[in-house]
Structure 1
Amino acid sequence: MGRLARFGAIAGMVVLAGSPALAQQKTLTVAGYGGSWEQQLRKQVFPAFEAKHGVKIDYVAGNSTDTLAKLQAQKANQVIDVAIVDDGPMYQAIQLGFCGKIEGLDKADLYPAALFKDDKAVAVGQTGTGFMINTKTFKDKGWATPTSWNDLKDPKFKKLLVIPPINNTYGLYTLMMFARLNGGGEKNIEPGFKVMKADINPNVLVYEPSPGKMTELFQSGQAQIAVWGTGRVQAFANTGFPVDFIYPKEGAPILLASACPVAKASANPLANEFIKTLISAPVQTAFAKEMGNGPVNTKVDVNMPELKMAPVGVRAKLVIQPDWNAINAQREDWTKRWNREVER
C-alpha cells in the first residue's frame, strides 16, 4: 500500500472512530430476573431497543440477591449497566452506592409508589405475594380454597407446599408474615422462625428459588400449593395450566420489581434509555398482558382481564408495605439463621 493510500485508510479510521454511532459502547449488560421476566424482555424489549440504539444487550439472569452479590463482587470494575432487582435489595444497592441517578426521568405518568429517593431507581412492576394453587387438584380432592397464611400449616399439604428460600423476597415475606401473625414483625422475627420450624417445614417439599423449577414442580404434580407472586402466577396461568392466585385475608406484601443504572466511571448512557423504555406505557402494557404485572405507568388500563390477579383496584387494599429499613438491617443474620435452622 502506498503512502497516500495508507494515509487515506488511517484518516478514514479516525473519522469512523469519531462518529457517534461507533463511539457508543456496543454492549449493554442488564442483570435481572429469569423465567417469564427474561422471556418477555427478550420478546418485548430487546429487539426494538437493540435496533434503535445499535447495541447488543447481554442479559445476566439471576434472583435479586444474586445480582446484588455480583454488584458487590465487581464494585472495583462494574460490568453490569442496568440492575433489575426486588425493592428490598434495591434499597441496599442504593445505600451501598451501586446506583447512579436516572437522567431525564419523566415522573408525570408514574405512580408515586414507583419512585425512589433522588431518582436512584424506579419500580418497573408491582406484584402481590400470596398463594398459588393447582385449582384442578383442589377441586378433585374437595379441598377448600386457602384464605389465610395459617392455612399453610394444614397437614394435608404435607410435602405438597413450595416456598422460595429466604434469599428470595417471597421466602422472606413468608417468614415476616408468620412473625406479624404471632405478635412479632420486622423488628421481632422470632415468632416467624418458631412457626416456620414447627408448623411449616413439615409441609414443605422444597425451598425453590428458580421460577422455571417452580412451574415444573406443579406440572409434574409434585407440588399443589406455593407462596409466589401475582405476576409469576398469572404468567403460568397464561400457559393454560390450572393455577390461580389467592390473596390471604391478613394481607399480601407488595414486591416492587425495580431498575437502576449502575454507577461507574464509564457509565453507559443507554442504561438510562433502557430503564425509561421499561417504564413506558407500551412496555408496561405488554408486561401487564403477558405477565400480569401491576403497571407503574398511570396510562396503562388496569381493568384489562390480564390484570385480574394483580394488586390493582380493589385488590390494592389487601397490599402490605414491609419495613425494608428494619429488614435490611437484619437480613444477613436472618439468612444465616434460616440456613442453619429452617432449610437444613
Structure 2
Amino acid sequence: MMTIRGVFLAAIAIATTHVVPALAQDKTIYVAGSGGSMEKAIRSDVFPAFAAKHGVKLEYVAGNSTDVLAKLQAQKGSQQIDVAIIDDGPMAQAVALGFCRPLDLGPVVNDLYDIARFPDGKSLAFALLGAGFVYSKDAFTRNNWPAPTSWNDLSDPKFKGKIVIPPLNNTYGVISLVQVAKANGGGETNIEPGFAAFKNKIGPNVLAYEPSPGKMTELLQSGQAALAVWGSSRAKALADSGFASDFVYPKEGGVVIGVGICPVAGGKESPEAQAFIAHLLSPEMQVAMSKTSGLAPVNKKADLPPEYRAGMPYGPEQVAQLKTIDWVEINRQRDEWNKRWVREIER
C-alpha cells in the first residue's frame, strides 16, 4: 500500500512529466534574415523539422542584411536575436563588432565548399548566389536589344530610365560600384572610376536605386524597367512568377555572394542556435532550401535534381567561375562611400 508521502511524490513526478515538455515548448528561437523566397523556404522547409526535433518555437524576423545588422547594433548587450542571416560583406562587419560567437557545429562543416568557410570562425555561408543581370525578354525583343554582356553596358544611352539597381547600402549596390570600377581600370582600392561612371554615364539610365525586392519585381513586371542588377535567387523567383526574364553573368565575371549565418553573441546564447545552423547545413535541408529559394547549396553532399539547378552556382565547377570581392577593404571605406554616394549619385 502506498503511503501518503508516496502518493505525494508520485503526484509530483506525474506533474513534472507534463511540465517539462511544456516549458521546452515555451522556448523561442529568433532567426533574423531576408524576406522573400528565402524567408518562405526557411519557414516552410526548415522550421517544422527543427521545431519537432528540439521542442522549441521558431520566429522569423524579416529584413535585409543592413536591417539585421542595425537590429544587432540596437540590441547590443541584450540581444533578442539568436541566429543572424547576413550577406558576407555586412557579416564581416557583424563579426568585427562582436555580434557573433564561435561556431560549434560538429562534423557537418567538413562537407562544405571552402568558399563557404569564412576565416573568422564565427560565421559561414549556408547558401550561395551569383550577382549579375536580370532583364525583361519582352523589352529586349521589342527593342531588338542583344542580351547585356558587360558591366559597362549599364552606361549605354539606350537604357535611359530603364535600369534598376539597389542602393549602396545594399550588397548588390556595392557589387555594382566595385565591378563597374574594375571594368574601368579601378577596384576596391581605387573606386574613382566607379563613381565617375555612375555619376556621368550610368546615373541617367537609372530609373530607381531600389532596395525592396518586391518593388524591384514590380518595376520589371510593369515594364517601367527593363534591366536590373540582381542575384540569381531573386532572378529565379521572378522567372517562377511567370514573368519572361533571363539572368546572365557579365563577361568580366559574376560575383559570388555567400549568404552568411552566425549564432549571436550577447543574448541568451541558446545551444539551439548552433543546432539550428547545423540543421540548415544538412544535405536534406540544403536541397529543400535550394528548391524553394533558388539559393545554391554549400554542402557538397547536397544532390540537387537537375531541373532545379538552372541559374544558380551549383557544383564545384560553377562555384569556381564566380569572382569574389575584398569585403575587408570595402568595409574599411564603406561609410565614406555611402556619404559620397548620397552626395554625388543618389541625390
Mapped to 2, the partners of 1:108 and 1:78 lie a distance apart of 30
CA distance in 1, matches of 2:255, 2:165: 15
Q: Is the contact between residue 105 and residue 119 of structure 1 (CA under 8 Å) also seen in structure 2?
A: no
* Equivalent position to 2:226, from 224, 227, 245: 224
2:93 aligns to what?
92
Q: How many residues align?
A: 339
Q: What aligned pairs does 1:124-273 form with structure 2 within 5 A after superposition? A: 124-264=126-266, 266-273=268-275
- Aligned to 1:117, what secondary structure does the other structure show? coil
Q: CA deviation at 1:12?
A: 7.2
Report how far residue 235 of structure 1 moved.
2.0
TM-score (norm 2): 0.91
Query: Which ranges of structure 1 fall in alignment gaps of 5 or more residues?
Result: none
Partner residue in 2 for 1:68: 69
Distance in 2, matches of 1:55 and 1:23, equals 6
Letter in 1 for 2:70: A
Q: 1:337 aligns with which of 326, 330, 340?
A: 340
Q: Mean Cα displacement is larger for which, 79-88 or 129-138?
A: 129-138
Aligned to 2:44: 43
State the alpha-carbon separation in 1 of the partners of residues 88 and 29 from structure 2.
22
Contact 1:25 1:268 in 2 (8 A): no
Alpha-carbon distance between aligned partners in 1 of 2:319 and 2:158, rounded to the nearest angstrom: 30
- Which residue in the other structure is 2:279 paired with? 277
CA shift in 2, pair 1:221/1:23, >3 Å: same
Alpha-carbon RMSD across the aligned residues, in angstroms, is 2.3
- Secondary structure, in 3 states, of the residue corresponding to 2:23? helix
Following TM superposition, by how much is the alpha carbon of 1:181 offset from its aligned partner in structure 2, in angstroms?
A: 1.6
Q: Distance in 2 between matches of 1:299 and 1:102?
A: 21
Shift, 1:104, TM fit = 2.9
1:290–1:306 CA contact under 8 A, matched in 2: no
Deviations 1:82-127 (Å, cap 9, x if unpaired)?
0001001111111111101222332221111111235311211111
Letter matched to residue 129 of structure 2: T
Report % sequence identity: 53
Report how far residue 54 of structure 1 moved: 2.2
**43-52 vs 66-75, which deviates more?**
43-52
Normalised to the residue count of structure 1, the TM-score between the two structures is 0.92
Residues 1:157 and 1:280: Cα distance change in structure 2 (over 3 Å): same
2:82 is matched by which residue type in structure 1?
D
Residues 70, 180 of structure 1: alpha-carbon distance in 2 compared, 3 angstrom cutoff: same
Q: What is the alpha-carbon distance in structure 1 between the residues aligned to residue 198 and residue 318 of structure 2?
A: 27
Contact 1:293/1:307, CA 8 A, preserved across alignment: no
SS, match of residue 193 in structure 2: helix
Distance 1:25 1:100 in 2: 24
Give the aligned residue type for 1:98: F
Q: Secondary structure at the match of 1:192?
A: helix
Query: Contact 2:89–2:327 at 8 Å: present in 1 too?
Result: yes
Task: Check conservation: 1:247, 1:318, Cα contact below 8 A.
Answer: no
1:286 aligned partner? 288
Separation in 2 of the partners of 1:196 and 1:25?
51
